[in-house]
A and B are shown apart, each in its own frame.
Chain A
Amino acid sequence: MSGDWPLYEVFVRSRGGLEHRHVGSLHAADSRMAIEHARDVYTRRQEGVSLWVVPSTLIVASDPAEADALFEPARDKIYRHPTFYVIPDEVKNL
């Protein structure tokens, strides 16, 4: 059996104004076929108004083993959140 067609990741914009969201993947011979397959596989019930397809090999992902090193620096910077600051109740609109 010959090899598979290239794998594409599929992203769907569900409504105007919203971002494209990853929904899954599929195989296609070329990018146009990928769009057509994505339409058939992921939007049979009006789930989207726009599609992105991206060859899976082009996606660079962070390594879960390095998640701590990547995200830990943000953990102790709670002063980045508004709730860090105590403001008296009588002060309004702040």
Chain B
Amino acid sequence: MYTQALDSPGKDPVAATGEAAERFQARVDADEKIEPKDWMPEAYRQTLIRQISQHAHSEIVGMLPEGNWITRAPSLRRKAVLIAKVQDEGGHGMYLYSAAETLGVSRAQMVEQLLSGAAKYSSIFNYPTLTWADVGAIGWLVDGAAIMNQVPICRCSYGPYARAMVRICREESFHQRQGFEIMMTLARGGAAQKAMAQDALDRWWWPSVMMFGPSDADSKHTAQSMRWKIKRFSNDELRQKFIDVTVPQAHFLGLTLPDAHLRLDEVSGHYEIGPIDWSEFHAVLKGNGPCNRERLEARRAAHAAGEWVREAAAAHARKLEDRAATAQHQERGSP
């Protein structure tokens, strides 16, 4: 899922000048795809490396909040679905890391940046999953917001990123629908179940709305990213689309959105929401969300615990290579 306009620290991309840069921009303007070996401005490369690796990290860290419920899923069916969903997110991380690597950054470098805390990932995964309803709310809202964000990236100017995104988007729809189904089941259940669904919506609504990143006025990278066709819509445009499709779904569930100011503007046909608490967003991004530390610790522990497996696999591969080399020598009759 889950790219987010994080606008993380980093210099403003400087527009490249010169003949090569002009030819590059002309290709982008003509909707041609840029491929790994093509010439590209350094700032384009760096912007993509940052965005794609943040996106990949988000998929990987995103496995944690839902993974928390795999052992406690309420039925075998729910458990099988949740395992498949979490595995998909791992797969999304793999597609994206591969796409980023075509730009010249190594997997090891990206993993290192995540584990050291230098890299950002989507703010949404720093919230805890307290009840089973949270698994429903994540699929419905968080994957729903991710779909809004990601569908336009399928047309991104950088070929490997666009192709990875096509694969991802094909898989996201199942994620959102299984989440909505969980919410629907709870909303139609007993009073305690309905209350659980409402509580999950109360806690996940605003963080989901914030997934689209800072408002356009505060979003410094948007213009250049749009010129490069990495981004097609602004944060606020995508946020509005998400709100407009999601509010009626909440009404269908018979749940109330936690926003006293929410109203349908009859003239524009859009829902208007109350003010967003951006201080919360920035606090979470800075590392002070409810679960930031826990998430990174979980990733570090997994990486450390896997070290001996990686070493053993590499040793095994060396052994196979040596054996193959020896066999070849013997066949040729050399010592």
Contacts and interface: CB of A to CB of B under 8 A. Distances in A.
Interface of A: 1-5, 7, 23-27, 29-30, 33, 40-41, 44-45, 61, 63-65
A44 B94 contact: no
A63 B37 contact: yes
7 contacts: A4-B108, A24-B99, A24-B163, A25-B101, A29-B313, A61-B37, A63-B37
Interface of B: 35, 37-39, 84, 87-88, 91, 94-95, 98-99, 101, 106-108, 111-112, 163-164, 167, 171, 310, 313-314, 316-317, 320
Given A4-B108, A25-B101, A64-B37, A30 B316 contact: yes
Given A25-B101, A26-B94, A1 B108 contact: yes
A76 to B, nearest CB: 22
Given A1-B111, A4-B108, A25 B313 contact: no
A36 B294 CA distance: 31
Nearest to A6: B317
Contact of B313 (A4, A5, A24, A45): A5
B107 A27 contact: yes
Given A24-B164, A29-B313, A2 B108 contact: yes
Contact of B98 (A2, A5, A24, A30): A24
A38 to B, nearest CB: 10
Contact of B101 (A7, A23, A41): A7
Given A64-B35, A64-B38, A3 B95 contact: no
B106 A4 contact: yes
Contacts of B107: 4, 27
Contacts of B38: 64
B91 A3 contact: no
Contacts of B314: 5, 29
Contact of A33 (B37, B87, B313): B313
A33 B35 CA distance: 28
A54 to B, nearest CB: 14
Contact of A29 (B112, B164, B316): B316
Contact of A30 (B91, B112, B171, B317): B317
A29 B317 contact: yes
Nearest to A37: B94
A1 B107 CA distance: 11
Contacts of B84: 44
Contacts of A44: 84, 87-88, 91
Contacts of B99: 24
A21 B5 CA distance: 32
A26 B98 contact: yes
Contacts of A41: 91, 94-95
Given A1-B112, A33-B317, 10 more contacts: A1-B111, A3-B108, A24-B98, A24-B167, A29-B310, A41-B91, A41-B95, A44-B84, A64-B38, A65-B39
A24 to B, nearest CB: 5
Contacts of A65: 39
A24 B94 CA distance: 10
Contacts of A63: 37
Contacts of B164: 24
B88 A30 contact: no
B111 to A, nearest CB: 7
Contacts of A45: 171
B18 to A, nearest CB: 16
A53 to B, nearest CB: 13
Nearest to B314: A29
Contacts of B320: 30
B91 to A, nearest CB: 5
